[in-house]
């Protein structure tokens, strides 16, 4: 049986995500909610070049959220819109919908709302939901344990018109215990989809861990993976790292090997 999906957002990234959902044999895109009234009443599938009806578009300006989810129940809501959509989840969870949120920049108030809603349903939140960026974060945390005295900087590159500091870069800084004001370096040029680099500087060598998204389809593929994973989870709040089973218990259980590797790298440095 297919997973029914509702999508918030149909902009530059959201439309690509919608196409990935439509193309996935295990998912069915029931509806799309966007801020503007553009293409309201049409089907996202038609706009994306498909012949069948899938993903009817609704405008947030005209949706009555007190009734909408009762009439349009879905298994999972995927959110690629903006932080204001979190205010509308509260009605969805009453009908059992799980949430996958890929919003880049939530403020503290929005995060608190997610925490409250996670007491009623399963919620996965990741500011960058690509599979690769989460591997980057786990690899960076492991390397930091091995060479804790390395100079560490984060470089994030995005398209010219992106205004805010990358939410993913902030998440990486938090994971590594770095001050985001001092250790995040932002570059805005051309049409770069998204590139993140963690640089570890040692006296005699430099280690760089890099992830680059070449196409926004990577976000859709990550979101679909998360949606399928969260269908098997209990009520609570989850991260993409958990969905990828990247809690590296084997490393914490084998401190001797880590200590040996740390001594070896320190010597090489």
For the segment 106-123, what is each residue's pLDDT rounded down to a tens digit? Answer: 888 888 999 999 999 999
Beta carbons of 20 and 224 less than 8 angstroms apart: yes
Cα 240 from chain centroid? Answer: 7
What CA–CA distance (Å, rounded) separates 84 from 2? 28
Protein fold of 3-129+217-243: Rossmann fold (3.40.50)
CA dihedral 64, 70, 219, 17 (to 10 degrees): -70
Residue 237 is inside which H or E element, if any?
Answer: strand 236-238
Which pair of tokens denotes residue 126?
């990741």
Residues serving a catalytic function are 158, 162
Query: What is the pLDDT, as a whole number, of residue 254?
Result: 47
Average pLDDT over residues 213-232: 93
Average pLDDT over residues 234-239: 94
Beta carbons of 174 and 140 less than 8 angstroms apart: no
| Distance in angstroms between the alpha carbons of the first and the last residue of the chain | 54
Grouping H, G, I as helix, E, B as strand and the rest as coil, residue 13 is: coil
pTM of the predicted structure, to 2 decimals: 0.80
DSSP state string for 181-218: HHHEEEEE-TT--EEEEEEEEETTEEEEEEEEESSTHH
Grouping H, G, I as helix, E, B as strand and the rest as coil, residue 130 is: coil
Beta carbons of 7 and 34 less than 8 angstroms apart: no
**Which residue has better confidence, 264 or 111?**
111
List the 151-158 sheet strands across, edge first: 184-188, 151-158, 194-202, 205-213
Mean pLDDT of the chain: 90
Q: Residues 138-196: pLDDT tens digits?
A: 899 999 999 999 999 999 999 999 988 998 999 899 999 999 999 999 999 999 989 99
For the chain, the structural domain boundaries read 3-129+217-243, 131-214+249-268
Q: What percent of the chain has pLDDT over 90?
A: 71
| 251 exposure class (CB count in 10 Å sphere: 0-12, 13-18, 19+) | middle
**Weakest mean pLDDT among 9-18, 61-70, 105-114, 232-241:** 105-114
Grouping H, G, I as helix, E, B as strand and the rest as coil, residue 157 is: strand
Architecture of the domain delimited by 131-214+249-268: 2-Layer Sandwich (3.30)
Which pair of tokens denotes residue 117?
């809603």
Which pair of tokens denotes residue 256?
């001797």
């Amino acid at each position: 049986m297919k997973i029914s999906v509702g999508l918030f957002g149909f902009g530059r990234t959201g439309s690509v995500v919608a196409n990935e959902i439509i193309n996935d044999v295990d998912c069915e895109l029931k509806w799309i909610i966007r801020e503007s009234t553009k293409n309201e009443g049409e089907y996202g599938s038609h706009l994306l070049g498909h012949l069948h009806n899938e993903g009817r578009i609704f405008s947030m300006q005209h949706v009555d959220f007190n009734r909408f989810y009762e009439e349009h129940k879905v298994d999972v809501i995927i959110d690629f819109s903006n932080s204001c959509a979190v205010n509308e989840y509260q009605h969805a969870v009453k009908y059992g919908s799980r949430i996958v949120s890929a919003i880049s920049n939530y403020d503290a108030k929005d995060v608190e709302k997610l925490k409250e809603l996670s007491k009623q349903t399963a919620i996965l939140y990741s500011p960058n939901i690509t599979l690769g960026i989460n591997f980057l974060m786990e690899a960076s945390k492991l390397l930091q344990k091995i060479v804790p005295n390395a100079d560490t900087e984060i470089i994030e590159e995005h398209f010219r018109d992106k205004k805010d500091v990358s939410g993913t870069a902030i998440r990486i800084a938090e994971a590594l215990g770095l001050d985001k004001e001092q250790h995040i370096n932002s570059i805005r040029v051309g049409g770069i989809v998204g590139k993140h680099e963690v640089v570890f500087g040692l006296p005699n060598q430099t280690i760089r861990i890099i992830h680059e998204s070449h196409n926004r389809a990577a976000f859709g593929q990550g979101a679909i993976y998360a949606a399928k994973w969260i269908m098997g989870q209990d009520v609570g709040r989850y991260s993409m790292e958990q969905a990828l089973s990247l809690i590296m218990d084997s490393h914490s259980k084998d401190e001797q090997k880590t200590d040996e590797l740390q001594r070896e790298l320190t010597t090489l440095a």
